[in-house]
Amino acid sequence: MTMDARNHDVATGKRPAGSPEVGSERHAGGAGALQRLLALRDIPARVEARGTLAVVVPTTYRPAIDVATRRWIVQAAQEAGFTHVALEVLPDPTDADAPLPGRHPA
27-66: pLDDT as tens digits:
568 999 999 999 999 999 999 999 999 999 988 877 778 8
* CA angle, residues 20, 23, 28, in degrees to nearest 5: 115
Measure the N-to-C terminal CA separation of the chain; round to a whole number of Å.
55
Maximum distance among all Cα pairs of the chain, rounded to whole angstroms:
56
Query: Domain extents for the chain?
Result: 26-87
- How many helices (H) and strands (E) would you count in the chain? 2, 3
Instruction: Answer yes or no: are the C-beta atoms of 54 and 70 closer than 8 Å.
Output: no
Supply the pLDDT for residue 90: 76
Which residues partner with 46 through β-bridges? 57
pTM for this predicted structure: 0.62
